[in-house]
Structure 1
Amino acid sequence: MSKAAAAFPRESDDEGRFVRQESAFRDQVWDRPAPGRYHLYVCKACPWAHRTMIVRELKGLGDVLAMTTVDPIRDERGWRFSEDAPDPLHGWSLLSEAYTATDPSFDARVTVPVLWDTEEGRVVNNESAEVLRMLNAWSDEGPDLLPDDLREEVEEVEDRVYDRVNNGVYKCGFASTQEAYEEAFDPLFAELDALDARLADSRYLVGGRLTEADVRLYTTLVRFDAVYFGHFKCNARRITDFPNLGPYLRDLFQHPGFGSTTDFDHIKRHYYVTHTSINPTQIVPKGPVLDLDAPHDRDRLGPRTV
């Protein structure tokens, strides 16, 4: 079968598989910084950036780490700032200016989140999994999202969920051959079935406590029915059709820090307008109706840990 135009040609292999690029900046800061030392750039539409937004709220870091949101519509120049939300530090028009200020030779895809060092004038880190852990370490407020006694199990769950679900939806959506799409589709729904079974008798993924594994899964699940089901052709079932994943998603949405950082307008406009190789008309669907404030009955499985 012929190969279609890839959404990101530099991240597509010869068989039409989406192969995500590696994050470029990987320095890490584990001690709580002085307020204003670092600045977080995010996009509300992006599930990877959304992780860090949630943890920033859960850990009470609003006064330590200021945050700027880029526009949800991205073009060939990458993420951009808007008149409604300008860059407060430099007056940049594009987030790529942070990348080239750090590395003038950078020529790959610009991603969010970005942790920016305001004193040294450089990107510290643009790998969401690492930024999430740094923010968890910066504050004792709220839950410890990576407790020592659960770390090994959390990481085992995350590795599988990342490959099959978090990145799996993208491997479906950005596949440029039928074979590559089907290769990603079956593991995605096999893993969703496994997660649904895992959540039948536990309120959270690991140890009956909220951990970073839940944060990382949430940002994919909350976009699934609105975007991935139709736009990315992940259409075997909706999350709301799963007996445990559906209530689990509603439970997390109603937790402090989760629903309050979820913006469906940004999410839907980003995916349906930006990915013109998938949706050339750029029409943003009005549906589906999502009732994430509905009862979930997850309290029967244990106490809320937020």
Structure 2
Amino acid sequence: MTERTAAEAEAGPAPVAAAVAPDAAAAAPVPPLPPLPPTSRPPRRVLRAVARWTVAALVLGGLGAGSAYAITSQERTDVPGLATGSDGRWGFPRLSLPALPPGAPRPFTEGNTAEVHHADLRGLLLPAPAGATADKKLTGGWISTERFVSEYERSSRADIAAELKEAPLRHIAARGWTMPDGTSSRVYLLQFNSAGYADAFHDDRYGGTATAGDPLAGAAQVELDESWSGGGKVEHTASYVAVEPKPFGAAQVRQAYLVAGDTVALVVQSRRGAGGTPSVPFHQTVILQNQLLG
């Protein structure tokens, strides 16, 4: 990924290349790593599967698999957030990175040993796509720990809250929306004091089992999403994607954890009905949010 010059930083945020997730190629699940001590730097995780077809119609290169495409760019140059397509993709607005404070480095540059995101975390939240109805409680601002842990089954909430307090957690930003087809989306960004703390929290709570850790409310069982191929990979970040298997209840839940430096993201989507929650827009959401964090 090409770093921005000082002149470019003064000129404002650089736009992020949009992506849409592969829907067909399956990848072997990434084995979990043991917890890290809070003061250590995180290991470089490598997502195992890459997409195979080059999308010639889009400049700056793309990765794809099966019938869906994943578009990524090291330069993060001007590519709009893909319009809704016949395969179920959503039309996200053009994405751009928020401006950094004067003299602040990007999270994965030399010298930023704690891999801190110095930009306003709220500016790194994925915006809602076209046609979405905004969640009045998750508007893209700061939220409380209590609101975040409410995503989980009651039996896990106290333990998660206690660990976030001990971590220590700096703050949480969140945004939610609902699409016309009833698909509900919620994105949470949890920022810690360093990458070591973020890795330790993720690995302790979610990295040690094949069931994606603490169960989300309404999804007592989840399994690794075999349709996820790791498309749209961003260097230095990792993604862990899971889905509630059949038979599910009134709504199927899809979830993903992203780890990027000092920040852990949780992406949750669900939709009521026998057809479940579609994978294409979920994977697209995960890829775009990962690009903003990377």
Normalised TM-score (structure 2): 0.30
If each structure's strand is expressed as a fraction of its own residues, which one has the higher value? 2
Normalised TM-score (structure 1): 0.29
If each structure's helix is expressed as a fraction of its own residues, which one has the higher value? 1
Q: Which of these two proteins has the greater Rg computed from alpha carbons?
A: 1
